[in-house]
Amino acid sequence: MSESPSSDRVPARTASAVLVFGLCCLLSTARLVIDAPSPRDSPGDIARRSDQRFSALKAALPERGVVGYIGEPEIPALADYYLAQYALAPLVIDHSPNHPLVIGNFPDSSSKNALPNDLKLVKDFGDGILLFANQVSAINKDEQ
């Protein structure tokens, strides 16, 4: 079981390995520090695109329930939709115009032209945010 006192020493190979290991780790630490973002890079980006942007609309919507949503068709615009849902929770935002109330979200206002005919503008909140009433959905809901 016991060994000679000399075996108490760490072999040179192990010591070298520890040195190399530590130094290589510190290389990646350098990357971590260099790549650290400055708080000035994107201050409150999500808050600006969600909570702040939708605050006026939120006051005009019911507190609970489901409302519809239309936005720009491109894939990147999905983030705008997700941010709308994030801002307006606990209201559920269904990506569909088939609801009595429909939110229009067009940060790039040039794409507002192709709106469904059933939608009637209730209010323009500015910054590409609109609130529509879907008359067909409202009638269907009343009938149900």
Q: Please report, as ranges, the residues that interact with other proteins according to CB under 8 A.
A: 1-3, 5, 7-10, 13-33, 35-39, 41-47, 50, 64-66, 78-79, 82-83, 85-86, 89-90, 92-94
The CB-of-25 to other proteins minimum distance in angstroms stands at 4
Would you state the structure tokens that stand for residue 108, as one six-digit string? 């790039």
The CB-of-59 to other proteins minimum distance in angstroms stands at 14
- For other proteins, give the closer residue by CB, 41 or 142: 41
- For other proteins, give the closer residue by CB, 78 or 139: 78
Nearest to 98 by CA among 135, 72, 123, 129: 135
CB-based burial label for 138 (10 Å; 0-12, 13-18, 19+) = middle
The CB-of-105 to other proteins minimum distance in angstroms stands at 15
- For other proteins, give the closer residue by CB, 68 or 104: 68
Residue 113 to residue 94: CA distance in whole angstroms: 21
CB-based burial label for 46 (10 Å; 0-12, 13-18, 19+) = middle
Nearest to 122 by CA among 48, 45, 78, 67: 67
The CB-of-113 to other proteins minimum distance in angstroms stands at 26
- For other proteins, give the closer residue by CB, 1 or 114: 1
